[in-house]
Amino acid sequence: MKQIVVSGIRSTGNLHLGNYYGALRNFIQMQNEYECYFFIADYHSLTTHPDPAMLHPNVKSILAEYLAAGLDPEKSAIYIQSDVPEVCELYTLLNMHAYVGELERTVSFKDKIRKQPENVNAGLLTYPVLMAADILQHKANLVPVGKDQLQHLEMTRKYARRFNTIYNTELFPEPDAYKFHGEPIKIPGLDGSGKMGKSEGNCIYLNDEDKVLTKKVMRAVTDQGPTEMNQTKPEVIENLFTLMRVVSAPDVVEHFNNLYNNCEIRYGDMKKQLAADILTVTAPIRERYNEIVKDEDYLRKVAAMGAEKARESSARTLEEVRKAMGFRRF
Ligand code: AMP
């Protein structure tokens, strides 16, 4: 039997290079091998209270980006989370066995309390339970996740195990993290901070125009340049090389690495090359995006197809869950 894969990206804005290399590119590879469910997490985006006027446009642009980057609706179920309301019922049922103490201890929750102390809502606290419902509704075996999501996946495994034990069933498989090429990749920000991310405000977006993208790369933080041969690179410079290793050919990386080691590097040249290589990856996606996003009929069809596949799978699981918990129809 085919392994089942589930993953999603929150609809909090356009996709950036971190989303692409950390998630989307992997989805595209996986769709050829597994039974996949890829969704756009609009319920999850509500924890930060987005402007209602932006909710649908954000979902729409991510759907178009998924398709423009190469996700194929004939191969995978591509759906919008809120088109499958069954997930909310499973979320409610799983919540009964999710303990407040363990939810309060999650790293992401503690992080959010610090970042948005004015909005510590119950949705934030139970975020890992909704994520577990997203995954368990399709009985997923594999979840491609970034490093930041590993603790949540561990909780999903715990909830699956707990449910199976309490109701004496083997209903839920315990999903494994699917890591590509060993360690999960982390795309750095080019502003000298850690990772590229929407809340960090340092993103290079897949649909940035050429000029905007080039300007962002040319503004990347650097230093005065190396003063000793073969010296260790400071973090801001290592970040440039990390990104280059992802988007550029190995001989290009080696060329700039040699220049660095010989104290002959000119960061302006390196950034120009980096911008050109990022554009080689993103420009075709942006061109397709600009076409797809205008095609409302096509987007509607894809979303409906995905929702149908996902609802069928979710309803099947939910029926078994209800039965295990003792619900009966008159
Ligand atoms: P988010 O935008 O936080 O909903 O993230 C969606 C997906 O993109 C998750 O699988 C993240 O792990 C991945 N992701 C986000 N930012 C980065 C980054 N800077 N490097 C690698 N993966 C990332």
Query: Any idea what the CATH number is for the domain that residue 31 is in?
Result: 3.40.50.620
Q: 330 in a domain, yes or no?
A: no
Distance 9 CA to ligand 1 centre (A): 8
Distance 17 CA to ligand 1 centre (A): 9
10 Cβ closer than 6 Å to some ligand 1 atom: yes
Q: 161 in a domain, yes or no?
A: yes
pLDDT (0 to 100) of residue 2: 84
65 in the same domain as 41: yes
- The confidence band for 185, taking pLDDT boundaries of 50, 70 and 90, is confident
Question: Mean pLDDT throughout 142-163?
Answer: 92
- The confidence band for 215, taking pLDDT boundaries of 50, 70 and 90, is very high
pLDDT (0 to 100) of residue 159: 98
177 in the same domain as 93: yes
Residue nearest to atom 6 of ligand 1 (CA): 9
Residues 95-130 pLDDT 10s = 999 999 999 999 999 999 998 999 999 999 999 999
pLDDT (0 to 100) of residue 161: 98
Q: 22 in a domain, yes or no?
A: yes
301 is catalytic: no
pLDDT (0 to 100) of residue 265: 97
Question: Mean pLDDT throughout 238-248?
Answer: 95
Residues 258-316 pLDDT 10s = 999 999 999 999 999 999 999 999 999 999 999 999 999 999 999 999 999 999 999 99
148 Cβ closer than 6 Å to some ligand 1 atom: yes
Distance 250 CA to ligand 1 centre (A): 24
Q: 102 in a domain, yes or no?
A: yes
60 is catalytic: no
pLDDT (0 to 100) of residue 86: 98
Write down the catalytic residue from 112, 216, 271, 309. 112
pLDDT (0 to 100) of residue 13: 85
Residue nearest to atom 7 of ligand 1 (CA): 19
Question: Mean pLDDT throughout 50-67?
Answer: 96
- What is the domain range of residue 139? 4-185+296-325
pLDDT above 70 (res 181)? no
Distance 36 CA to ligand 1 centre (A): 19
Question: What is the C-alpha separation between 330 and 327, in angstroms, rounded?
Answer: 10
110 is catalytic: no
Give the number of domains in the chain: 2
143 Cβ closer than 6 Å to some ligand 1 atom: no
Write down the catalytic residue from 179, 198, 233, 272. 198
| Mean residue pLDDT across the chain | 95
195 Cβ closer than 6 Å to some ligand 1 atom: yes
140 in the same domain as 30: yes
Per the model's pLDDT, the better-predicted residue between 201 and 321 turns out to be 321
Distance 146 CA to ligand 1 centre (A): 6
pLDDT (0 to 100) of residue 152: 95
215 in the same domain as 100: no
pLDDT above 80 (res 83)? yes
Write down the catalytic residue from 147, 179, 195, 272. 195
pLDDT above 90 (res 76)? yes
Q: 204 in a domain, yes or no?
A: no
pLDDT (0 to 100) of residue 227: 94
At residue 132's C-alpha, the angle toward residues 3 and 35, to 5°, is 20
Residues 188-200 pLDDT 10s = 998 987 889 887 8
Ligand 1, from 19, 59, 151: best to mutate by most atoms within 8 Å of Cβ? 19
Q: 48 in a domain, yes or no?
A: yes
pLDDT (0 to 100) of residue 298: 98
Which CATH number covers residue 273? 1.10.240.10
pLDDT above 70 (res 182)? no
275 in the same domain as 144: no
